[in-house]
Every structure is written in C-alpha cells, then in structure tokens.
Structure 1
C-alpha cells in the first residue's frame, strides 16, 4: 500500500486515540468513581471504573504484567501493519493500534485503564469497557473477516 494510504490509516489510529482519551477525560471529570449514570435505561449506563487488569478486567498477573503484554502485542501489531498490504487488514490493525495506544496512555499515567461503558440486559451485565476496547474488538473482528476473505480468495485461485 502506498505511503499516502498508510497515512490515512495512521489517521484512523490517531482518531481512535483522541476519541478514547477525550471520553475518558470527560468521565474522570464529570462522573464520580463508582457513580452510575443511566444513558438508555438499564441497558446502557456509564460508570466510572479503573481497571488495573487486562481487557474486560481479566487478571493476567497485575498491572505490570498487563502493561508488558500490551506493549508486546502493540509491537507485534505494528510489525504486521508495516508488512501488510491488504486494505481491510490494515484498517483492522489501525483500529487495534489506536485502541492499544489509548489504553497504554492510561496504564502509564494511572497504572490502570479508565472504563465506563456498561451494557446489560435483564440481570446480566457485560464487563465495563471503553472506546479503546471497542476499537480493539472491532479491529480483531475485521482481521478475522479479512483472513477469511483472503483464505477464500486463495482457495478459489488454487483449485
């Protein structure tokens, strides 16, 4: 992929970082820790939480281990970004990079990630998350779609 197009993809990462950090700042400034703000009834709420663990609160050995794993994953994704030329895969990596950097900023500054999006249905609540987590999740889904599309294309090319 040409340099100009890769700059556009880096813009996607930058947009995710800015959106993530802006929303987290607004939460830290306007919602007390633990306070619940109903956005759409009980289905969508904002709650100010600090997550020292990995994505969706999974404990992988504490904040230092989470930081190291995030840095390793970030370096690996940047390597894939540098080597890849497939458009959908590059977009997916741009989202993953933006989300990873957004959460890395929190880990360096606060030793935890600001989470605030709380979704639930009935008595079930999903793990609290943030914009960066959403970008990483969407990026992973797009990566899988890209992989499936490329697999189908290469299998139809090689009967």
Structure 2
C-alpha cells in the first residue's frame, strides 16, 4: 500500500503557510495597537468584544510572573518539539500535519511579539454579563485549532485502525 503525501507534510507548503499565518497575525496586531483603545471593550456582537491588552505570560496569561528569557526559551522548545513530531509523522496524516503547521505559526507569531515588545498583544474577548473568557489573539487561535486538528487526526487513525481489524 503506497502512502499519499499530504500538502503540509512537505517543507515548502508548510513554510509558506507559517510565513503567511505569522504575517496575518502581525498585521492584525499592528492594527489593534494602532486603532483600539487600551483595555476598553469595543463591542462587536453580543458576547464578543475587541479588547486590546498586553499578555506578559503565555496562553491565557499563565506564567506571567516568569522571566522573558524563560518564556522565549519555552516557546522555542515547543516549536522544536512540534517540528520533530512533524518530521516523524507519516506523510499521509493530513490533519496532524495541518495541526503542526498551525501550532508552529501560532507559537512563532506570539514569539515575534515577545521579542519586539516584551509582551503579546491580545484582543479577542468572549464574555457575558457575569463571565468572561481569557483575552486571546489569532496566534492563540492557530495553536488551539492546531491542537484540535492533531486530536482529530488521532481519532481518525484510531477509527481507521479498528476498521482494518474487522
């Protein structure tokens, strides 16, 4: 049985995707910094607002008390680990490779902020009158959706493995 290589299992497409994703993330963050008031909600629709803030930690402000070099090192280690996983994953696993590309793009997008400003620019807020979710950005969305794609890939592989045994 021959293995069909997926788009993001090849170096050039994954590199292009990552560059475009980082550029989109940085462009949106530039607009957010230029146009949105700091820490004031700008309603978009019920339960969704734009809310510019600066995150000195990692996702959802975790580790915000840690030194910047530690967070930069941690992000680089995550990127290296995901690249290692990408290389080891069979080339026919579309959702896994897509997920790896998204995680790398998100991690590098936030790393650019950390290196340029010392913090990450966040701007999306889901909320109700009594509850609000952590403020996040496009790079965070890439990381979350990427992790979901990898989980989906694992579930599909598990199902495929069971159907082959029947």
After TM superposition, the score normalised by the length of structure 1 is: 0.89
1:71 maps onto 2:82 in alignment: no
Partner SS, residue 51 of structure 2: strand
Partner SS, residue 46 of structure 1: strand
**CA shift in 2, pair 1:56/1:139, >3 Å:** same
Measure the CA separation in 1 of the matches of 2:59 and 2:8.
Answer: 32
After TM superposition, the score normalised by the length of structure 2 is: 0.86
Partner SS, residue 67 of structure 1: helix
Q: Superposition pairs for residues 72-151 of structure 1, below 5 Å? A: 72-84=77-89, 85=91, 86-151=93-158
Measure the CA separation in 2 of the matches of 1:73 and 1:96.
Answer: 9
Correspondence for 1:25 among 24, 30, 35? 30
2:122/2:137 contact within 8 Å kept: yes
Q: Superposition pairs for residues 19-58 of structure 1, below 5 Å? A: 19-41=24-46, 43-58=47-62
Partner SS, residue 125 of structure 1: coil
CA RMSD of aligned residues (A): 2.0
